[in-house]
A = this chain, B = another copy of it.
Amino acid sequence: MPSFEELTTKERPTWCPGCGDWGILTALKKALVEINAEPTKTVVVAGIGCSGHLPQWINTFGFHSLHGRALPVAQAIKLSNHELNVIAVGGDGDGYGIGMGHFIHAMRRNVNVKYIVHDNQIYGLTTGQASPTSEKGFKTKSTPHGLIEEPVNPIALALATDCSFVARGFAGDVPHLVKLIVQAINHKGFALIDVLQPCVTFNYLNTFEYFYRRIYKLEESGHDTSNKEIAFQKAFEWGEKIPIGLFYKKERKTYEDELPQISKEPLIKQKIDNVDISQLIEEFC
């Protein structure tokens, strides 16, 4: 139903020219066009970061929540009205740093929400500190002598939690990312798309260049998306070759499927004008 233009706001994004976030926004809008999403029935929920500004620039409902908290908000919106199309976005700091707990628990819960992480391996909005996915040794404002920790591996974590849809995209390959987002939305269940997103201002290491030279597509390499062990091996491939695409997919009941409370109609449609509690009062008499 919506055209790309209808989804486009009058205000232009304030991201740095060349930032990978532009590609992600474009891909999201194209995917929404492709799946015929009604803008009024679509909610984009964000955390805080450069990535977190995204909902401002797409003509749907939006909720710009707190740093690291997009997922709890998004899940509750979906549970309250499962006819909505709910998409959560956020940064790597947002989702894998301060939001790590929600991330893991959302995956095991399997509410039908899509999670697109702008993984630029840096804290962008706070002007360049190390992020949970920054590479070891990386020098940033907060690690001027080089980062000591090993990065987290969001794909491996998702597999360890049996997330029902685990994928990685690249902000520099919009058509591919569009496909992934469409697949994710069509998938019934929680979907993670970790997107490699160059931050042209603060990440001098993981540039577009860097990724162009390294990435290859899983779907072109005969990868079996139903095999968790192989997906797990692939998750650790990082260096000369970096896989993108769908790592793993599994059909699982969604959380909503198991709620008799909403099997007839969404929570939001249920009347509350005059809830009869006489039975409850009786219980206490």
Give the B-binding residues of A (Cβ under 8 A): 97-101, 104-105, 108-110, 132, 148-153, 156-157, 159-162, 228-229, 232-233, 235-236, 252, 255, 258-259
Contact = CB atoms under 8 A, between A and B. Distances in A.
A98 B101 contact: yes
Contacts of A153: 160-162
Q: How many copies does the complex hold?
A: 2
A40 to B, nearest CB: 29
Given A100-B100, A108-B149, A153-B161, 15 more contacts: A97-B105, A99-B101, A100-B101, A100-B104, A101-B101, A105-B132, A108-B132, A108-B151, A108-B152, A148-B255, A148-B258, A150-B161, A156-B159, A156-B161, A160-B232
Chain A at the B interface: SS class:
helix
Closest 4 CB pairs of A and B: A156-B160, A100-B101, A160-B160, A101-B101
B98 A150 contact: no
Contacts of A160: 153, 156-157, 159-160, 232, 235
Contact of A232 (B98, B161, B229): B229
